[in-house]
Chains A and B, each alone.
Chain A
Amino acid sequence: MLGYTLRRIIYTAPVLFGVSVVCFALVHISPGDPLISILPADASVELQDRLRTLYGFDRSYPEQFILWLGRALQGDLGTSIATGRPVTSEVIRAVGNTLMLAAVATFIGFVLGCFFGFVAGYFSNSPLDKAASAAAVFGVSVPHYWLGMVRVIIFSAQLGWLPAAGAGPGGSGQWKFDLEHLSYMILPAITMSVIPMGIIARTVRALVAEILAQEFVIGLRARGLSELGVFLHVVKNAAPTALAVMGVQLGYLLGGSILIETVFSWPGTGMLLNSAIFQRDLPLLQGTILVLALFFVVLNLAVDVMQSALDPRIKR
């Protein structure tokens, strides 16, 4: 167990290095001088040179990379070109909101996905299975940003039940635990939960069908165990994989929240990315992507370790 965990961590290190190289390269694959967006069009050559030195753009790529990585490791992701504030503090503020939304959405998706998956797997090829499988196909096929729009149309524009945008009253950017703030989360969270719901339902359906076909289930039934008892055995066998899929989905939602956040004006990392892209604020873009990718890699690592801890049959 410990050996596996250590090996897994060591294996993650080069991936993290690669991820930082890609994030670093983002600024340099973008066309044009990265200084253009902060300089007035008639800036003097001296001013351009001074800023170039200040931002380190006059050095060679490897030099710039090492400097950038060194600062990033100390928690300094540079300065936002658009706002002049440190990228790190901007990202930290936004990550909390995204994490909150993604966690609630993953939870909803997990509960619904398990429900549909178990129903479909238990009654495979029955009309119930067909209905549950249809829900799963819907979940993985629907463009979630469109689903969000349709829900805004129904529940905000037509019925007026729920707020259409933002994370709180009066464009509040900070999340609080009260009913009013909660009403702002309902639509984006339910919309976002559709993807993990579909994927978890598909996984659980296949798992349950596979487990039910195994001999030990026949054995349990032959020993006269009640259906509930058999069900508990199935749950126990399906849990590690289902939980692992849930963990990975949380990572995908964290990184993929930009479309939902744009639809609902949710003040998270997606909104941050959106404004970074359109203001050509490359340090902010780079920093946000780095943090989100970091989250994703670490989460995957945690999921793998957790799965092998939960399921001793997985010999690695």
Chain B
Amino acid sequence: MADISVSQGVITPVRSAGYWQNVGARLVRDKTAMAAGAVLLLLLLAAIFAPLVAPLDPLEGRLINRLKPIGTPGHVLGTDELGRDMLSRLIWGGRLSLLMGVTPVVMAFFLGSALGILAGYAGGWTNTLIMRTVDVFYAFPSVLLAVALSGALGAGLGNALLSLTVVFIPPIARVAESVTTRLRSSDFIEAARASGAGAFTIVRVHVLGNVLGPIFVYATSLIAVSMILASGLSFLGLGVRPPNPEWGLMLNTLRTAIYAQPWVAALPGAMIFMVSISFNLLSDGLRSAMEVRQ
């Protein structure tokens, strides 16, 4: 109690810092979001420190050990169709899977925000040109666009990342444009303009600070979709190439084993599901933590 009254007494020089502190405090109180965040953090740490955490080499296996069930001594989660240790492959697989799921949204966040803010702030022909182009890409269902682009470009990690980035730019640009357009006509932007601030200064100081929050929350909700899509591309054979461990690809190569070792074959998908639902719950928590201001 004492802590709260003291912190309320302190006058923070930057108002927005206080707002973000509040959001943080609300988010910490959200048990579901925190649990989801903890799961993600754990998986991320396991992936980063895979060489230390994984018990065995993810690429080395002996055919004599193939498709061992869950609970085999020495292979806690069994072995895959080439006798490689599943636990080690799942831990190592987190590296490529998380990278493939998160990178496209991060890149699309920057590119889509830039395009949307430019379109929203400039208005007129610039807006028409950018937003009508965005509409064209929006006219494809996201799975179809991702498959079309990576199918035409050819299989591979880089092409899959590029295709997914293109898929996520249009929705982010749309949100950025609508938020910026609404902001542009507000009084304090008018005041800044009247006081002689240049367009660049207004965007940097007044627009960015107010639009990046909503765009960021929206972008976090796309990470779950991106995880499913990215692993889906690998599942189709369009992403990561064997023998590299990646959850979608592992799911694909283990499909032949669903009669021999069904639950081992299902493990990589459970990882994708766990990550995707955690990102969804965290994003939901973030949204409700941020909406209190309105």
Contact = CB atoms under 8 A, between A and B. Distances in A.
B151 interface: yes
B280 A137 contact: yes
A150 B151 contact: no
B115 to A, nearest CB: 16
Interface string B141-167: 111100111011110000000000000
B140 interface: yes
Interface string A123-156: 0000000000000011011111111011011000
B31 interface: no
B144 A292 contact: yes
A273 B280 contact: no
B142 A19 contact: no
B231 interface: yes
A12 to B, nearest CB: 9
Interface of chain A, main secondary structure: helix
B266 A29 contact: no
A314 to B, nearest CB: 18
A30 B159 CA distance: 11
B280 A258 contact: no
A237 to B, nearest CB: 24
A149 B136 contact: no
A80 interface: no
Report which residue of B141, B251, B268, B270 has the largest number of chain A beta carbons within 10 angstroms of its beta carbon: B141
Contact of B272 (A143, A273, A282, A297): A143
A18 B132 contact: yes
B262 A277 contact: no
Given A146-B269, A258-B236, A30 B153 contact: yes
B154 A292 contact: no
B45 interface: no
Interface of chain B, main secondary structure: helix
A15 B135 contact: yes
Interface string B254-294: 01001100110110111011001100110010000000000
A145 to B, nearest CB: 6
B98 interface: no
| Interface bin, chain B | 35 or more
A252 B141 contact: yes
Nearest to A258: B147
Contacts of B110: none
Contact of B269 (A149, A274, A293): A149
B277 A138 contact: yes
A153 B259 CA distance: 7
Given A137-B280, A143-B273, A157-B258, A19 B139 contact: yes
A27 interface: yes
A259 interface: yes
A23 B154 CA distance: 16
A116 B140 CA distance: 28
Interface string A4-33: 000000000011101101110011011100
B122 to A, nearest CB: 20
A292 B228 CA distance: 21
A19 B270 CA distance: 36
A146 B140 contact: no
A152 B258 contact: yes
Nearest to B232: A259
Report which residue of B143, B231, B276 has the largest number of chain A beta carbons within 10 angstroms of its beta carbon: B143
Contacts of A297: 139
A147 B277 CA distance: 14
Contact of B266 (A19, A23, A150, A292): A150
Interface string A241-267: 000000000011011101100110000
A298 B263 CA distance: 42
A273 B150 CA distance: 12
6 contacts: A19-B140, A141-B276, A145-B235, A146-B270, A258-B147, A276-B151
Interface of B: 132-133, 135-137, 139-144, 147-149, 151-154, 224, 227-228, 231-232, 235-238, 251, 255, 258-259, 262-263, 265-266, 268-270, 272-273, 276-277, 280-281, 284
Interface of A: 14-16, 18-19, 21-23, 26-27, 29-31, 137-138, 140-147, 149-150, 152-153, 157-158, 251-252, 254-256, 258-259, 262-263, 273-274, 276-278, 282, 285, 289, 292-293, 296-297, 300
Q: Lowest 8 CB-CB distances: which A-B pairs, in order?
A: A146-B269, A255-B141, A18-B136, A256-B143, A255-B144, A141-B277, A277-B151, A153-B262
